[in-house]
Amino acid sequence: MPVTAHFTERLFHEYFPPPRFLEMPAVGLNISDDAVSAVELIRHRNAYAVGRFGRAPLPKGSVAGEYVADKDVVVGELRKLKDRLKLDFVNASLSEEKAYLFRTVIPNVSHKEIRAALEFRLEENVPLRASEAVFDYTIIEGTGHGSKDHLDVSVTVFPAKVVETYTELLDAAGLSPLSFEVEAQAISRAVIKKGDRGTYLLVNFGESKTGLFIISEEVVHFTSTVAIGGTHITEAIAKSLSISPEEAVRVKRAQARVAEEKNEDLFLSLLSTLSALKDEINKLTIYWHTHKREGGEAGPKISKMILCGRDAAIPNFADFLSPTLKSGVEVGNVWRNAFSLDEYIPPISFAESLDYAAAIGLALPKGS
């Protein structure tokens, strides 16, 4: 089906709507390479409580970034989750692997004119024609470029075909998407305190890959993907302990549940795999701190590394990565902007919650 300008505009208005529309309650739904996860947050006094939630694994290879290799399998799992949780409206994620991110300065036009002004900048920054793209933007307040005459804007662009594919996928499963958002931005909304305009490196562990995201001024500025994930950690444990992959998963999960008991032998078996990941993180931080952005300045100093994904809870892992950033590393609190753990205990364990970061961020209204 050819993508037309009319189709692109319709997609934008339906799935990247004005902020008021995004306040409609919906379940956050994250479709990753290895699972589909859903979380509902229910307003409770001045915070939230967890409502419906669930996670269903996907067979290896059924989803690869933006590409859905086995639509029938994915739709089937989505339908099961929909029926089990009685889902209807969802705020869904899109993989950052097919997203284009750029930052630009435009004249200080009216809100209605911003979209037209950015369309002129698309082809300068991404390998897509405006008629083939769906994009969203965030005005970055309080920066050096911002003035009475100019707006500093962060732009996220997707090929319209990708949005169309995921729209059809959800429709086939009987789900109604209210919005789509890049997975990295959803995770950042969950783990970075609202209003914190600092600069952070998020490390999100999946089964087959790890996402590296740089967040600054509450928006995503850079994303990268490393082909190292939970599967590789499982394989390293299985080889080291001469056990089956299934038993290695149980060992890994058990250690994550008792993170205070640091198993040095287990961690030593992972050093080769984790060292390769550490090298990629080092490369990214060097690039960020030395690459000149528009205006000639390098990226601001990364103040902290935040780990997500269940394997982030493996004992010693945060300590191992700490020398990469002098300011430190922490395992993310995915409930940071939903409620205080001192006042409410969620029905999802700490280790499990790390796999729900994107879904939780999608369930939180923008600006929450």
Tell me the CA end-to-end span of the chain in Å, nearest whole number: 37
Alpha carbon distances (Å) from 20 to 25, 39, 176, 366: 11, 21, 18, 9
The arithmetic mean of pLDDT across residues 187-197, rounded, is 95
Nearest to 183 by CA among 368, 367, 360, 365: 360
The arithmetic mean of pLDDT across residues 4-27, rounded, is 50
Q: Which residue has the higher pLDDT, 78 or 147?
A: 78
Confidence at 3, pLDDT banded by 50, 70, 90: very low
d(CA 194, CA 185): 13
pLDDT of residue 260 exceeding 70: no
Strands 176-182 vs 89-94: parallel, antiparallel or unpaired: parallel
Residue 339 burial (CB count, 10 A) = 19
Q: What is the pTM of this model?
A: 0.87
Burial class (CB in 10 A: 0-12, 13-18, 19+), 267: middle
pLDDT of residue 215 exceeding 80: yes
Residue 254: the pLDDT is: 79
Q: Which residue has the higher pLDDT, 1 or 347?
A: 347
Backbone phi, psi, residue 186, to 5°: -65, -45
Domains in the chain, please, with CATH? 5-363 (3.30.420.40)
pLDDT of residue 337 exceeding 90: yes
Q: Compute the mean pLDDT over every residue in the chain, rounded to the nearest whole number.
A: 86
Nearest to 365 by CA among 17, 101, 100: 17
The arithmetic mean of pLDDT across residues 2-30, rounded, is 54
pLDDT of residue 63 exceeding 90: no
